[in-house]
Structure formats: C-alpha cells, structure tokens
C-alpha cells in the first residue's frame, strides 16, 4: 500500500504506468514532436500521431514545383513509415478535442491521452476571398500541380501573385515564387512577354524579418522587373479567374491570378475552446503549453508574440517547437530537470532561382526583440535547401 501510494502523483495518477503522448497532426511540427518524444521515452510509454492524410507534402517545394524544377512524385512522405521508429500512426480525421476529459474523437475511434500536442496547422479559408477557390494558387499541393500545368503552356501574359490577409505561411513565399517565375521565364526565353506582379496586404515585404530584409526584398524584386504593390490585399477574383480586385481600390486583369488563401484556426481546434476565442491558440511562450496543463499547441496553429509580430508560420519553427515540447513532456514523465525555455530560433530558405537560395530567419525571442537577417542568395544555399528536402523526405526533420 505504501509502495502504491509513493507511485501516485498529486492527481492520483500512477507514475509507474506507461503514459500516452498523443500528437494531433503529422505535418512539420507533429512529426518532429513524435520523433523526439519517442527517442526520449522508454517503450512503456506510447507515442501516437493522428493525421487524415497518410501522405503529406512539403509545401516548401511548391514554388520550384510549379515551374517544373521539382518532381510531383518526390514531394511527399508517408506517415506509415513512422512505425519503423516505434510511433503509432492512425489515419483518421480528428473530429473533437476534449481537453477536460482528455479524449480525442476521430473517424477511427476515440483515444485518451496523458499529454496532448496539437499540431494541426492552419486551415485555408478558400471562400473568404470570392473567386479564390476557383483561381490558381501554390499554397496546396493539388493547386500547385494545376498551376504547374498552366505555366507549362504559358507563352505570354501577366502573372499576379496575390495575398489577402496576414498571417500566412512562409512570409517569403510570395516573393520567392515571383523571383522563381522570373528566372524560369528568362530561361524559357519568354520573359519579355511576361509581366509579374505581387500584391500584398502588408505595408512592405517580409516585415517580420526586419527593415533591412524588407528593403533587400524590395530591391531584389525591382532589379528583376517584378512589380510590388503593398497595402493591397486581394479582395475578389472574377469567376473566370482573369481579373482581381484589391483592398486599395485597384483592379487588374491577368492571364494567371494565383492567390494565397486566408489562413485560420482549424474548425476542430476552435470548437475545442483551447484558443479561448482567439484567432490562434495562445500558449506560454517558454513551454508552448496552452491554458490546460499538459496540453501543448505548436506550429502554425499557435501564436507566439515576438516584438511587433509573432513567430512566423513556417515549418522550421513548427519543428523546433515540436522538439521543445517533447523535451518538456519527457522531463515530466522521466522526472528529469525542466529543459530551458523555447528560444524562437529558426532559419529557412528564400529561393531566388533554380540555382540560388538565401537564408532568412534569426532569434525571434531574443532579449531586446527579434534578431533577424536575410542572407544573399548563393549556390551553396541551394545545396543546403536540397539537403533540407532530402532530410524531410527521410524523416530526419
């Protein structure tokens, strides 16, 4: 009896029994969280990951994929392979998250948990901008494939890349995509017949990376003859996809209008109450824990304030956060010292062409405010990007 009591925590739970770590979402954050948790816990504890898509795609490949520089059959990875690492994968749609009763209802049954990691990303609201659903985009794999087919036939005309509203994933994506299209059109010998414009809702490009980086991007676009229109989020696309209207009152016609959809909290997360009615899930910035103990939210689904902005919605940050929450969970289960606080450090690629890539990122939670930079594009930067893609496919990240 004495022995039994000494193995109970304050809540009456057995410390000896295996714990259940449940990860919702098998994207960047969820996979890294599951891999790190599995590595830090012995086999008496279970790590399960749920995602409705067995095969997930690397969105970061889309800007090169649309111009034929990446193969569509090499842009995905199967979550089934996580079984090799002792992680249970459940292919199911998550229908309800009950943090009070510590249960998650899915299309394949209900699971309980001791520790929950919500990594369900951002949901696209294709209908927030009338006409966007039927227009082009490069923000989802199926849309990127369609745009790839359209671009392969394009010989002349205007291409408009149009974001509606921040925040959106990968803040460099509209600019890198415009520059990649510029490079591709030059390579094809059709650049003189093609106009490229980027419309964004923000007052300047890539503000989250700081003033110097923003100016670098402006100059890079300018040097390449790419039009940049700021404070002009797209508000509507005509049903034929050939005309767009913007928040500054302007409109333009184009051969291809590719929108960045409005991003919002996934419905199932909003319904769970874990966001307390906020647009994104608020978390403790040092532990990424929600207001419910042992329930964490990582990656695009959360908001971590950083200076005048928030930690960008990017895979590198989602993965870093996944690693951190797994360390925290493992320390609680293994009763080891609490790890240091989340540092908001992350670097990702900003590609300028098929052969050169820059690095953008920094320490977003540095004392005194975010410490960020954008490097010059280099050939070795592209080699690092290619390595990143290979590592992603083999679950190293």
Ligand X SMILES: Cc1cc2nc3c(=O)[nH]c(=O)nc-3n(C[C@H](O)[C@H](O)[C@H](O)COP(=O)(O)OP(=O)(O)OC[C@H]3O[C@@H](n4cnc5c(N)ncnc54)[C@H](O)[C@@H]3O)c2cc1C
| Chain positions contacting ligand X, by CB under 6 A | 25-30, 50-53, 56, 59-60, 62-63, 93-94, 119-121, 138-139, 169-170, 173, 266, 268, 299-301, 313-316, 318, 348-349
The residues with which 349 forms a beta bridge, in sequence order, are 359
Contact 97, 110 (CB under 8 A): no
The whole-angstrom separation of Cα 269 and Cα 247 is 29
Q: What is the smallest separation between the CB atom of 169 and ligand X, expressed in angstroms? A: 4
The whole-angstrom separation of Cα 267 and Cα 125 is 11
The whole-angstrom separation of Cα 370 and Cα 363 is 6
Q: Which is nearer to ligand X, 245 or 364 (CB)?
A: 364
Q: What is the smallest separation between the CB atom of 7 and ligand X, expressed in angstroms? A: 35
Within a 10 A sphere around the Cβ of 272, how many other Cβ atoms?
A: 23
Which residue has the CB atom at the shortest distance from ligand X? 27
Q: Which is nearer to ligand X, 63 or 233 (CB)?
A: 63
Which residues are within 8 A (CB) of 42 and not within 5 positions of it... i.e. 6 or more apart? none
Q: Which is nearer to ligand X, 18 or 279 (CB)?
A: 279
What DSSP assignment string belongs to 126-170? TTSSTTTTTSB-SSSHHHHHHHHHHHHH--SEEEEEEE-SS--SS
Residue 229, φ and ψ in degrees, nearest 5: -120, 115
The whole-angstrom separation of Cα 246 and Cα 172 is 20
Q: Which is nearer to ligand X, 245 or 323 (CB)?
A: 323
Indicate if the alpha-carbon torsion angle 236, 238, 242, 245 is positive or negative: negative
Q: What is the smallest separation between the CB atom of 251 and ligand X, expressed in angstroms? A: 25
Q: Which is nearer to ligand X, 9 or 376 (CB)?
A: 376
Q: What is the smallest separation between the CB atom of 294 and ligand X, expressed in angstroms? A: 19
Q: What is the smallest separation between the CB atom of 341 and ligand X, expressed in angstroms? A: 20
Q: Which is nearer to ligand X, 216 or 245 (CB)?
A: 216
Q: Which is nearer to ligand X, 240 or 267 (CB)?
A: 267
The whole-angstrom separation of Cα 188 and Cα 130 is 33
Q: What is the smallest separation between the CB atom of 378 and ligand X, expressed in angstroms? A: 16
Backbone region of residue 67 per phi and psi (left: phi > 0; alpha: psi in -120 to 50; beta: other values):
alpha
Q: Which is nearer to ligand X, 82 or 119 (CB)?
A: 119
Q: What is the smallest separation between the CB atom of 28 and ligand X, expressed in angstroms? A: 4
Q: What is the smallest separation between the CB atom of 63 and ligand X, expressed in angstroms? A: 6
Q: What is the smallest separation between the CB atom of 359 and ligand X, expressed in angstroms? A: 10
Contact 297, 30 (CB under 8 A): no
User: Comparing C-alpha atoms, which of 195, 215, 194 is closest to residue 204?
Assistant: 215
Q: Which is nearer to ligand X, 245 or 359 (CB)?
A: 359
The whole-angstrom separation of Cα 142 and Cα 72 is 10
User: Comparing C-alpha atoms, which of 50, 62, 136, 125 is closest to residue 87?
Assistant: 50
Q: Which is nearer to ligand X, 316 or 328 (CB)?
A: 316
User: Distances in Å between the alpha carbon of 94 and those of 25, 179, 263, 288?
Assistant: 9, 38, 19, 21
Q: What is the smallest separation between the CB atom of 300 and ligand X, expressed in angstroms? A: 4
């Amino acid at each position: 009896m004495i022995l039994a009591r000494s193995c109970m925590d304050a809540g009456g739970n057995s410390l000896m029994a295996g714990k259940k770590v449940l990860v919702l979402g098998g994207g960047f954050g969820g996979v890294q969280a599951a891999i790190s948790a599995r590595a830090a816990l012995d086999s008496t504890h279970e790590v399960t990951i749920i995602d409705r898509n067995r095969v997930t795609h690397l969105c970061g490949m889309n800007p090169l994929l649309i111009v034929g520089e990446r193969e569509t059959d090499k842009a995905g990875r199967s979550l089934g392979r996580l079984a090799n690492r002792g992680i249970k994968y459940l292919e199911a749609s998550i229908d309800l998250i009950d943090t009070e009763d510590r249960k998650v209802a899915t299309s394949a049954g209900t699971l309980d948990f001791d520790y929950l990691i919500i990594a369900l990303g951002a949901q696209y609201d294709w209908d927030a901008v009338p006409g966007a659903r039927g227009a082009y985009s490069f923000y989802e794999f199926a849309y990127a494939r369609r745009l790839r087919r359209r671009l392969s036939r394009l010989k002349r005309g205007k291409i408009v890349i149009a974001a509606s509203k921040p925040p959106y994933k990968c803040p460099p994506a509209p600019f890198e995509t415009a520059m990649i299209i510029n490079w591709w059109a030059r390579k094809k010998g059709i650049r003189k017949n093609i106009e490229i414009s980027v419309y964004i809702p923000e007052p300047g490009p890539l503000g989250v990376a700081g003033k110097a980086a923003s100016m670098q991007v402006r100059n890079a676009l300018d040097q390449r003859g790419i039009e940049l229109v700021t404070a002009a989020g797209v508000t509507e696309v005509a049903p034929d996809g050939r005309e767009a209207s913007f928040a500054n009152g302007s409109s333009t016609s184009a051969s291809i209008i590719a929108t960045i959809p409005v991003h919002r909290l996934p419905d199932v997360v909003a319904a769970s109450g874990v966001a307390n009615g906020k647009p994104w899930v608020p978390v403790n910035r040092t532990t990424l824990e929600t207001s419910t103990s042992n329930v964490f939210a990582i990656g695009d689904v959360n908001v971590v304030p950083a200076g005048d902005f928030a930690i960008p919605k990017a895979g590198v940050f989602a993965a870093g956060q996944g690693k951190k929450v797994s360390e925290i969970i493992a320390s609680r289960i293994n009763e080891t010292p609490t790890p240091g606080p989340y540092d908001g450090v992350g670097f990702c690629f900003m590609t300028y062409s098929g052969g050169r890539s820059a690095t953008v990122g920094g320490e977003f939670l540095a004392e005194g405010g975010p410490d960020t930079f954008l490097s010059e594009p280099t050939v070795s930067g592209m080699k690092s990007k290619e390595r990143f893609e290979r590592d992603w496919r083999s679950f190293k990240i």
